[in-house]
Amino acid sequence: MKNLIISVLNNPFLKSIAQSKAIKKLAFRYVAAEDLQNTINIIKELINKNFFITVSFLGEHFNNKDKVEEYLTEIYSLIKNINENDLSKNVSISLKLSSLGLLFDFEYTLDNLSKILDISGNVKIHIDMEDSSLIDDTFKIFDILKYEKKYSNLDITLQAYLYRTDRDLNEKILAKQNTNNLLIRLCKGAYKESYDKIFPNKKSINENYLKLAMKLIDNIDKIYPAFATHDINLIKKIQNYAHLKGVSYDKFEFQMLYGVLPKLQNKIISEGYRLRLYLPYGKNWYDYIIRRIAEKPSNILYLLFSFLPEKNS
């Protein structure tokens, strides 16, 4: 169902009218703004409400250097604004390596991420994990920059729906990590993959997520876990396991998407846990929004009503 919804909403006609006011209104439930300055203002408001933030400039799967260079220019401006506004204690940047050229040039991508880290100052840079065709190269770049070149502010994501993730955690991270300066975001995973690569159903994915979450907590001396989930049952089980292991609230965090389950977000904060919002911004919001619509089909009704002519007042 999710893939069908995404296919329908990728129709060129729907994309061509994506700038309508009604669709934008839906979009900005889940996207901060189209521009950097308004995004910074929203970040400040969210910090005042006790949220931590990881901000993401929308754009991925670039296949030429012109697109990558435009993206880099924005990331440099984002870093500058975070540092100038003294927000780095609360705000990190999430990015995909396909935004930096990984689809067509490994060395170019490595160089681009190195440049970002060189100017990042105190801003932590978080690598979003993508589909399985890019995972090995993503880990290679992470390994070079984190463990060979010793960039301490570089973090990474793991996806629980992949069979390979437990091995990746053991071999590519825990075997090399000896301080807790690494934030690992654990998410379920959302990319379309062949059946031989992923757990077959929601139940088995949730079981593997919890297994990985427990392993992260068991290695709290080496890493700082970030549990990215909106599943209240998983959240409760993670909280209970952390309590059982005597792990204090400041040793891990939960992460959720901006605009998704705000009541649950506030409840987690009120209980004393850290919560970081994944906050996207930029003009390339359409593909991001259709993924949110696919995850919550009730939004389709809102979308359909947006195509109706407005009544004269």
Domains of the chain: 51-222+232-249 (3.20.20.220)
What is the pLDDT, as a whole number, of residue 304? 52
Lowest-confidence segment of 8-12, 161-165, 253-257, 290-294 by average pLDDT: 8-12
Kindly report the CA angle at 291 between 285 and 294, in degrees rounded to 5? 140
Mean pLDDT over residues 296-309, rounded? 53
The CB density around residue 62, as the number of other CB atoms within 10 Å, is 20
**Is 74 or 294 the better-scoring residue by pLDDT?**
74
Please report which confidence band the pLDDT of residue 286 belongs to, taking 50, 70 and 90 as the band edges: confident
Nearest-Å Rg of the Cα atoms of the chain is: 19
Report the distance separating Cα 78 and Cα 59, nearest Å.
14
What is the pLDDT, as a whole number, of residue 144? 98
Report the distance separating Cα 274 and Cα 251, nearest Å.
9
Query: Considering the chain, what percentage of its residues have pLDDT values greater than 90?
Result: 78
What is the pLDDT, as a whole number, of residue 313? 36
Would you state the structure tokens that stand for residue 183, as one six-digit string? 């934030």
Please report which confidence band the pLDDT of residue 309 belongs to, taking 50, 70 and 90 as the band edges: low
Please report which confidence band the pLDDT of residue 190 belongs to, taking 50, 70 and 90 as the band edges: confident
What is the pLDDT, as a whole number, of residue 246? 98
**Is 295 or 86 the better-scoring residue by pLDDT?**
86
pLDDT digits (tens, 9 = 90+) for 169-179: 999 999 999 88
Active-site residue list = 128, 185
Please report which confidence band the pLDDT of residue 289 belongs to, taking 50, 70 and 90 as the band edges: confident
What is the pLDDT, as a whole number, of residue 6? 47
What is the pLDDT, as a whole number, of residue 312? 46
pLDDT digits (tens, 9 = 90+) for 10-69: 556 555 555 566 677 778 889 999 999 999 999 999 999 999 999 999 998 999 999 999
User: Considering only CA atoms, which of 57, 43, 62, 28 is closest in space to residue 289?
Assistant: 28
Task: Give whole-number Cα distances, 31 to 24, 58, 67, in Å.
Answer: 9, 9, 21
User: Considering only CA atoms, which of 98, 284, 264, 283 is closest in space to residue 191?
Assistant: 98
What is the pLDDT, as a whole number, of residue 27? 84
